[in-house]
Amino acid sequence: MIKNISKFCLVGLVAVGITSCDPADFGDTNVNPNATTTPIAGALLTSAINSVDDVVNATQGQHYVQYLANSQYTSADTYQTVEWSYGGWYSGPLMDLNQIIKLNTDEDTKDAASAYGSNANQIAVAQILQSFYYMHITDRWGDIPFSESLQINDGVRQPKFDTQESVYSSILTTLATAQGNISSANPVTGDILFGGDMDMWKKFANTIRLTMALRLSEVDPAKGSAEFNAAMNDGVIALDNSENIFYTHLANQDYDNPWEDRFETRRDYCVAEPLVDLMQTTANGGVLNNSMDPRLPVYADPTEASGNNPEYVGMVYGVSEAEAGSISNTVVSFLGSSLREQAAPTYIFTAAQVLFSMAEAAELGWIADDSEQLYYDGIMASLEQYGVEDGYASYISNSWVQFDAGTAMDQILSQKYIANFLNGYEAWSDWRRTGIPALLPAPAAQNESGEIPVRQAYPVFERDLNADNYDAVVARQGADGLDTKVWWDK
């Protein structure tokens, strides 16, 4: 994988992940005469895009929403880890993207930087990708270093924490401006996400905006509605799977799918019982083979014990390691083999996700579209995404799948939950905002409340190296733990 090439000494991590150090002066002894002294903007972009995979495929998000359950080491299922670090996001992709913006803004470097795409396009792309990462960070931690982050060269080593409300407002403004500044002429280089397709960068920005707008449904519905409609008007991805946004893995050691890597050393990730039950249960509470969700054989492998009569059994979720260890691996379903092939893609945004978002917006009265039609279109798009669309007619004939105006929101969000499989942190945001589907906490939960976490605590380096700002943000948010809600979670 292309390494992060930002030139910084990583000694202490304070929000930006960097505290400068002054090496001894060895003259030119350690200088490579063949190395470039100017950062390569295209390489910086490639490096920053590589980290997108870590957002979607991160394991903990899968456990919070009970997509997956571990068959051996269940600490993730039981919420053992409280403090999580975002230092790598700031010192890695965010800093790389900030460098691209500076290279294309500074009068001394912008002409040379234009070799990697027009200055305007490079700045816009960097801002869009930065916004994606900032959305991910603030959705996990709430108030975050933002306006004073990435300013280590300007002497800011202890940045303040901005409120999530202000972070959201700034990101939405940045995305709207950035997508408007993009031109199809002189596209960016180093773009391993869209291959320099600038129209797709615009649609990426607007799809992020649409996603963020729905986060505001409980805390600021008026702003949410306005932002949702603006994003739709500016153009999101196509609703037919032709423009699904995904990270492409190559069948080699540098770019292969992380689930393939994980299963090489640890056969531990089973599909969780709550998800499997949801994908097999009829309205009457029975489990019938002819009502099974056609996506389940893609999401999960059949149990070894079922042999020629494949059965799909979810791993019991959130139990102690002793209890998990007492369950044979032969009687539970592991993550589907096709999803952990070396070249299996990582889906970031899909047509199904957008269709279900539009269906919810229609139910909220934000848009005038038919929520029922959008709901069915979302199911079809999800089935087509996984090549099982032949099962559509049978699947929607189940009474619990058939659209019911009285339970529409629950159905829409439950189907969106199923469609977003393996996009764990995104599904976690939807669940925190809506409480759908109805998930029960881990029986052996180790966090203080015993409930499903709704936030992650700040990394230790903030408390140790940025104490005044850390104390202020904890006082403002009320606490710093897994049970402290973020701003939009009402």
Buried b (16+ CB within 10 A) or exposed e, 372-396: bebbbbbbbbbbbbbebbeebeebe
Q: Do 104 and 163 share a domain, yes or no?
A: yes
Q: Do 265 and 231 share a domain, yes or no?
A: no
Q: Do 223 and 323 share a domain, yes or no?
A: no
Q: Do 127 and 177 share a domain, yes or no?
A: yes
Q: Provide the 3-class DSSP secondary structure of residue 443.
A: coil
Q: Do 125 and 90 share a domain, yes or no?
A: yes
**Beta bridge pairs of residue 300:** 335
Q: Do 225 and 268 share a domain, yes or no?
A: no
Q: Tell which of 340, 373, 405 closes a domain.
A: 340
**What number of other Cβ atoms are within 10 A of residue 463's Cβ?**
15
What is the rounded CA–CA span in Å between residue 143 and residue 486?
8
Give a yes or no: residue 384 inside a domain.
no
The pLDDT mean for the chain works out to 90
Q: Give the count of domains, the chain.
A: 2
What is the rounded CA–CA span in Å between residue 85 and residue 17?
10
Closest CA to 376 of 364, 349, 350, 358: 358
Residue ranges in 337-398 assigned as alpha helix (H):
351-364, 371-385, 392-396
What is the rounded CA–CA span in Å between residue 81 and residue 61?
12
Q: Tell which of 279, 310, 340 closes a domain.
A: 340
Judged by phi (left if over 0) then psi (alpha if -120 to 50, else beta), residue 79 lies in left
**252-258 long-range CB contacts below 8 Å, 24 or more apart?**
252/342, 254/1, 255/1, 256/342, 256/343, 257/57, 257/339, 257/340, 257/341, 257/342, 257/343, 257/344, 257/346, 258/53, 258/57
**Which one-letter DSSP state was computed for residue 287?**
B
The H-or-E segment that residue 282 falls in is none
Give a yes or no: residue 351 inside a domain.
no
Q: What is the CATH number of the domain that holds 57?
A: 1.25.40.390
Give a yes or no: residue 422 inside a domain.
no
Q: What percent of the chain has pLDDT over 90?
A: 83
* Positions of the chain with pLDDT lower than 70, given as ranges: 1-37, 251-254, 282-290
- Determine the pLDDT at residue 287: 54
467: Cβ contacts below 8 Å, ≥ 6 apart: none
Q: Do 177 and 53 share a domain, yes or no?
A: yes
What is the rounded CA–CA span in Å between residue 386 and residue 352?
11
What is the rounded CA–CA span in Å between residue 107 and residue 115?
15
Q: Tell which of 283, 315, 340 closes a domain.
A: 340
Q: Do 230 and 293 share a domain, yes or no?
A: no
Residue ranges in 73-197 assigned as alpha helix (H):
87-89, 95-103, 110-113, 119-141, 164-180
What is the rounded CA–CA span in Å between residue 238 and residue 292?
28
Q: Provide the 3-class DSSP secondary structure of residue 171.
A: helix
Give a yes or no: residue 322 inside a domain.
yes
Pair of tokens at residue 147:
């306006």
Give a yes or no: residue 164 inside a domain.
yes
Give a yes or no: residue 306 inside a domain.
yes
Give a yes or no: residue 368 inside a domain.
no
**Which one-letter DSSP state was computed for residue 333?**
P
Give a yes or no: residue 352 inside a domain.
no
Q: Do 172 and 232 share a domain, yes or no?
A: yes
Alpha carbon 413 to its chain centroid, in Å, reads 17
**Exposure of 5 by Cβ count < 10 A (0-12 exposed, 13-18 middle, 19+ buried)?**
middle
Q: Do 47 and 108 share a domain, yes or no?
A: yes
Q: Do 115 and 46 share a domain, yes or no?
A: yes
Q: Do 158 and 212 share a domain, yes or no?
A: yes
How confident is the model over 365-391, as pLDDT tens digits? Answer: 999 999 999 999 999 999 999 999 999
Range of the domain at 292: 258-340
The H-or-E segment that residue 90 falls in is none
What is the pTM (predicted TM-score) of this model?
0.92
Whole-angstrom CA distances from 172 to 167, 204, 228 are 9, 13, 10
What is the rounded CA–CA span in Å between residue 193 and residue 351?
17
